[in-house]
C-alpha cells in the first residue's frame, strides 16, 4: 500500500505537477497568425457571436468544452475534504473525458457556503461551456443543485455520481438478469446506500420496468420504511410498508443486491439467504460490501460485480459519462433526459453481448472473452464504445 501511495504521488507530481495542460488548437507562430488569434482579428468572431449567440458553437470551443465542477463535499470514498482537495479527482475526470471521447474540460472547484451559492456560481460561469458535469457533491444537496441548474441553463447538466452510476448499474443488471433467467419487473431488489448513486440507480431501474414496490432501500439506520420520520423527500419516495428493518431482513429472498455504501457490510449469511441465482453488485470502492470470492463460496450460482478493476464485471463510470456527453454535445442537447440515459443503458448492454474484438483482448491481456457471468459490461478500452453510445444518446435527443 505504501508503494502504491508513493507511485500515485509521484505520478501526480512528476515531471510537472497535475494531469492537465492547455494546448492551442490553431497555429500562432507568426505576426499574421497572432493578429488572427488575438487583436485585431479576434474582433470578427466577437461581433458574430454578439449578433447571434449560436455562432459561439462555430467560432469557439464551446461545443466541445465541459466544465467539471465540484464543491468537494463528497470526494470519492473520502468524504468532505473541500474543493481544493477535490482538484486531483476533477483533473482525472478531465483526462478521461479527453482520452475516451475527445472532449475538452476545465476543472472548476467552488468554495460555496450553500447550495444556492453553488448554483449561482455555476449559472454565472456557464455561458462559455457546452455542458456541465457535476462531481463529488454530497446528497441530498446534489439533487437540488442538479435540478436547479437543469432548469436554469440551456446546456446539459450531468451529475456523474447520480446519472453515470445509474446508467452503468442498469446496463450491467439487465445483462445479469438475462443470464440468470429473470425479468426486471419480477425481481426483488435491495439497495444499500440511499445517497446520490443509490437513489438515482433505483429511479432509472424503475423507469426501465422495475416495480417500485419490489425495491427496498437501506441506509445507515436500516430499512427505509413507511414508519420512519427521519427521511428526506428523496428517501421518502422509497419508503414502503414492510416488516423488514435490517439489511439481513431485506436480503432474505431478494434476487438483486446493489451496494453503493461501504466496505464489508454484507455477510456470507446474508448472501446465502438470497433467492436462487442471485445478483450481487457490491460497488463500494476500493473495498466492496462483500468480496466476490466470499459470495461465490456460499452462492456459486451468483453473478457478482464490483467497482474494482481487479475483479470481473467492473461497474466503471468511464463507460458512461464521456460517451453520454459526446452524444449530448454532438446533438446540441439542452439537457440530459431520462430518454438519453435509457438509450445509453441499452447501447452498453447490447455491446457486451457482441463478440469481443482482438484489440480488447490485447489491451486486457486475455485469450478469450464472451458474454457470460464474468462479462456483463463492455471493457472501458473497447473502441466500439465511441461508435455506439454517443449516436444512441444523440438519437434520443431528437
Q: What are the CA-CA distances from residue 263 to residues 276, 306, 319, 359 (Å)?
A: 24, 11, 23, 34
Q: Is the peptide bond before 140 cis (omega within 30 degrees of 0)?
A: yes
C-alpha cell of residue 140: 441530498
Q: Which of 128, 149, 150, 133 is nearest to 57 (CA)?
A: 128
CA geometry: angle at 166 spanning 188 and 358, to 5°? 105
Look at residue 67 and give its three-state secondary structure.
strand
What is the distance between the alpha carbons of residues 153 and 28, in angstroms, rounded to a whole number?
Answer: 34
**SS3 assignment, position 95:** helix
132 pairs with which residues across the strands? 67, 157
Q: How far apart, in whole angstroms, are the C-alpha atoms of residue 173 and residue 258?
A: 9
Separation CA 22–CA 28 (nearest Å): 14
Out of 38, 59, 80, 221, which one is annotated catalytic? 38
Helix (H) / strand (E) containing 363: helix 358-363
3-state secondary structure of 254: coil
Neighbour order of strands in the sheet with 279-282? 222-223, 215-219, 189-192, 256-259, 279-282, 303-306
* Contact partners, residue 151, CB within 8 Å, separation at least 6: none
d(CA 389, CA 6): 36
CB neighbour list of residue 46: distance below 8 Å, 6 or more residues apart: none
57 classed as catalytic: no
379 is catalytic: no
From the list 62, 87, 93, 182, the catalytic residue is 93
Please report where in the chains the cell 438470497 appears, as a residue.
Answer: 274
Active site residues: 38, 93
Amino acid at each position: 500500500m505504501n508503494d502504491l501511495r508513493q507511485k500515485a504521488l509521484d505520478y501526480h507530481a512528476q515531471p510537472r505537477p497535475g494531469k492537465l495542460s492547455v494546448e492551442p488548437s490553431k497555429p500562432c507562430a507568426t505576426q499574421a497568425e497572432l493578429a488572427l488569434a488575438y487583436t485585431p482579428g479576434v474582433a470578427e468572431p466577437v461581433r458574430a457571436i454578439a449578433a447571434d449567440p449560436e455562432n459561439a458553437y462555430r467560432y469557439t470551443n464551446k461545443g466541445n468544452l465541459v466544465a467539471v465542477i465540484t464543491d468537494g463535499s463528497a470526494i470519492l470514498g473520502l468524504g468532505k475534504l473541500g474543493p481544493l482537495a477535490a482538484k486531483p479527482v476533477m483533473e482525472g475526470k478531465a483526462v478521461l473525458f479527453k482520452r475516451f471521447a475527445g472532449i475538452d474540460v476545465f476543472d472548476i472547484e467552488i468554495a460555496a457556503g450553500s447550495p444556492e451559492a453553488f448554483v449561482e456560481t455555476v449559472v454565472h460561469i456557464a455561458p462559455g461551456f457546452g455542458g456541465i458535469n457535476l462531481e463529488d457533491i454530497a446528497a441530498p444537496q446534489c439533487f437540488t443543485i442538479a435540478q436547479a441548474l437543469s432548469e436554469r441553463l440551456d446546456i446539459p447538466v450531468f451529475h456523474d455520481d447520480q446519472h453515470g452510476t445509474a446508467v452503468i448499474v442498469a446496463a450491467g443488471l439487465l445483462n445479469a438478469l438475462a443470464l440468470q433467467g429473470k425479468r426486471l419487473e419480477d425481481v426483488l431488489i435491495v439497495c444499500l446506500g440511499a445517497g446520490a448513486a443509490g437513489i438515482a440507480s433505483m429511479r432509472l431501474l424503475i423507469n426501465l420496468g422495475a416495480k417500485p414496490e419490489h425495491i427496498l432501500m437501506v441506509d445507515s439506520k436500516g430499512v427505509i420504511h413507511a414508519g420512519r420520520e427521519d427521511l428526506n423527500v428523496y428517501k421518502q419516495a422509497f419508503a414502503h410498508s414492510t416488516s423488514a428493518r435490517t439489511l439481513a431482513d431485506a436480503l432474505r429472498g431478494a434476487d438483486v443486491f446493489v451496494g453503493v455504501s461501504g466496505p464489508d457490510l454484507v455477510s456470507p449469511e446474508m448472501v446465502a439467504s438470497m433467492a436462487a441465482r442471485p445478483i450481487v453488485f457490491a460497488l463500494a470502492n476500493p473495498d466492496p460490501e462483500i468480496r466476490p470470492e466470499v459470495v461465490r463460496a456460499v452462492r456459486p450460482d451468483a453473478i457478482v460485480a464490483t467497482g474494482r478493476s481487479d475483479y470481473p464485471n467492473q461497474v466503471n463510470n468511464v463507460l458512461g459519462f464521456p460517451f453520454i456527453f459526446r452524444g449530448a454535445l454532438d446533438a446540441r442537447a439542452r439537457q440530459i433526459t431520462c430518454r438519453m440515459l435509457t438509450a445509453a443503458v441499452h447501447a452498453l448492454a447490447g455491446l457486451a453481448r457482441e463478440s469481443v474484438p482482438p484489440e480488447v483482448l490485447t489491451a486486457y491481456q486475455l485469450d478469450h472473452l464472451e458474454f457470460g457471468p464474468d462479462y456483463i459490461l463492455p471493457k472501458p478500452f473497447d473502441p466500439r464504445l465511441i461508435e455506439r453510445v454517443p449516436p444512441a444518446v444523440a438519437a434520443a435527443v431528437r
